[in-house]
Structure formats: structure tokens, C-alpha cells
Amino acid sequence: MQAPVAIVAAMELELRALLPQLTDVQRVARAGREIHLGRLHGQRVVLARSGIGKVAAATTATLLAAEFAPSSMLFTGVAGGLAPDVRVGDVVLARELLQHDMDASPLFPRYEVPLTGRARFAVDAALADRLAVATAACLHEAPHALGASHLAAFGIGHPRMHQGLVISGDRFVSTAAESSALRRDLPDALAVEMEGAAVAQVCADFGLPLAVLRVISDRADDSAHVDFLRFTREVASVLTRLIVVAALTQPRPSPTA
Ligand code: SAH
């Protein structure tokens, strides 16, 4: 039988638009989490809310990897924009992830995960490529699909896609001082969130292909002007659904091509 794709987000709100699209649903409880097994437009999926933060995300990723034998994992949700041109409503597709609060110096270089020899964990390039194609198409359609005036109410015009470094840590970054410190120390970081790099470490251990897709909900500073929860429910979760469904239903290159 076809192996499922694991789809995970930290909060229920982030999965709000995707959950009702599941068919043949079976729900099981594991480690205090509700796991939804089913199909999304024909593709077998296993969907779960991890809870917020690196430990919650790592626990969930481990559980799914060990018990449900997924073929790949997609972590999705919202994030704070760090790079100057990463705006609310934009989509950031991680190519690499780093734990910005990991610091075992002077024993190991700052950010390096001790005894792994690395600070940056790469996502699966083929998976990210598929999502990039789906994201570009969905963002083109976004003003139509979500309503231009609805987007304008959140200060969003034409959302864009960015690809590169996403950083994670157990802190909600909500002051200008903290986001400028992160920008200074990690100048190529596009966005900050609280789970992705932890999941990347777990997936590296399991040899499980990972992609991380984030919709920017705020600018990780004290001038964040959007209603975080409303934005997540009404914009981010809908955009995520459009992109995930487009990626899953994309024609796959044939093995002989
Ligand atoms: N205000 C929210 C708190 C959510 S914590 C509430 O009351 O429920 C933030 C979640 O969104 C995390 O899962 C994290 O991955 C992501 N996130 C969005 N913006 C962030 C930011 N500026 N800093 C860190 N994480 C952020």
C-alpha cells in the first residue's frame, strides 16, 4: 500500500482549512495527540497537530516517523518574517533550518547541534522543488482565491515566495531588539518560528525527506500589526491548503522521463 505523507503543524488553527478535506478518515490517539489518517485528493496522509515549540514538534515527528512509516513529512504553519523583504502573507519555503537558541559554545561552535557536526539541516530538495512550483501557482491565484479585499484588510497586496534559511527556537520573537539581533547574527535567515529545525533534526536521524512551508503572520517585532489568530485561521490555513493540495495533485515526473 502507498505510504502516507505526514503533514504536521503546531496549532489546530494552522490545519483548520486542511482537516475538513480529508476523506476515509480514521482517528487515533497517541502521546496525547490526535492523529488523523485518511486521504487528501487520493493521496494517503497522516495529519497531526504537534503543539508549539521544539520538543513538542520533535516528539510528534518521532512518533509519526516511527509508527506510521510515512514516505515524507511536511511541516507547515505560520512564522515571523526576518529578512527585510519577507512580508506578512508571503510564503517561505525552507531550504535549510537552524536552531537559533542552540549554543553549546565553547565546547562546540555556536548553533551546532553537539556531536552531529552541523548547525544547518537541509530539507529534501525534490520535495521543496515540488512545493515551490505549487506555491508559485497558488500565490498567483491568491488574490482571486482569498479575495483581494480580504487580503488588503491584513495589509497584503501581492504575496511572494522566498526560499532559504528558516530558524527555530523556543521563543516567540516579538520585539524589534530581538529580531534585529537575530538578523545581525544570522543575516541570511528569512523567517523565525518555533518547530522546523527540531523536526529537521529528527527527519535527518530517520532518513525521512522533509519540507517546511511557512506563511508569514508577523514581522517578529513589536510593530506586528496583524491579528495573529485571525490571520492564521483566515489566510494562512487557506493558503496552506491551496499549496498542499496543489503539490499533492501535481503530475509527478514519470520514472522514464
Ligand atoms: N499568540 C499565539 C502564540 C503562538 S506561538 C497564541 O496565543 O496561541 C507562535 C507559533 O507560530 C509557533 O508555533 C511558531 O512556530 C509560529 N510563529 C509565528 N510567528 C512567530 C514569531 N514571531 N516568533 C516565533 N514563532 C513564530
The set of residues, in sequence order, having a beta carbon less than 8 Å from that of 149 and lying 6+ positions away, is: none
The Cα 67–Cα 75 span in angstroms is 17
What value does the mean pLDDT of the chain take?
A: 94
| d(CA 79, ligand 1 centre) in Å | 6
Task: Tell whether ligand 1 has an atom less than 6 A from the beta carbon of residue 122.
Answer: no
pLDDT of 227: 81
Residue 120 CA to ligand 1 center (angstroms) comes to 21
| Amino acid in the structure at residue 94 | A
The grid cell for 80 is 515571523
CA gyration radius, the chain = 17
d(CA 112, CA 37): 35
Q: Any idea which of 20-29, 140-149, 211-220 has the lowest mean pLDDT?
A: 140-149
The per-residue pLDDT for range 29-48, each reduced to its tens digit, is: 999 999 999 999 999 999 99
Residue of 66, 12, 5 whose CA lies nearest to 37: 5
pLDDT at residue 250, rounded to an integer: 84
The residue to mutate among 12, 50, 78, 168, having the most atoms of ligand 1 within 8 angstroms of its beta carbon, is 78
Please name which of 15, 54, 53 lies closest in space to residue 34, comparing C-alpha atoms. Answer: 15
Per-residue pLDDT tens for 8-18?
999 999 999 99
Determine the atom of ligand 1 nearest the C-alpha atom of 171.
24
Mean pLDDT of 176-193: 97
Q: For residue 224, is pLDDT > 70?
A: no
**Does ligand 1 come within 6 angstroms of the Cβ of 234?**
no
**pLDDT score for 226:** 60
* Average pLDDT value for residue range 227-234: 88
Is residue 14 within 8 Å of residue 236, measured between CB atoms? Answer: yes
Across the chain, where does the E strand assignment appear? 5-9, 23-30, 33-40, 43-49, 72-81, 91-99, 120-122, 161-168, 189-193, 210-218
Residue range 49-58: average pLDDT?
98
pLDDT value of residue 253: 63
Active site residues: 14, 218
Q: What is the mean pLDDT of residues 201-219?
A: 97
- Note the pLDDT of residue 257: 44
For ligand 1, whether the C-beta of 199 sits within 6 Å is: no
CATH no. for 76-248: 3.40.50.1580
pLDDT digits (tens, 9 = 90+) for 55-114: 999 999 999 999 999 999 999 999 999 999 999 999 999 999 999 999 999 999 999 999
Q: Which of 90, 193, 212, 216 maximizes ligand 1 atoms within 8 Å of its Cβ, making it the mutation to test the pocket?
A: 193
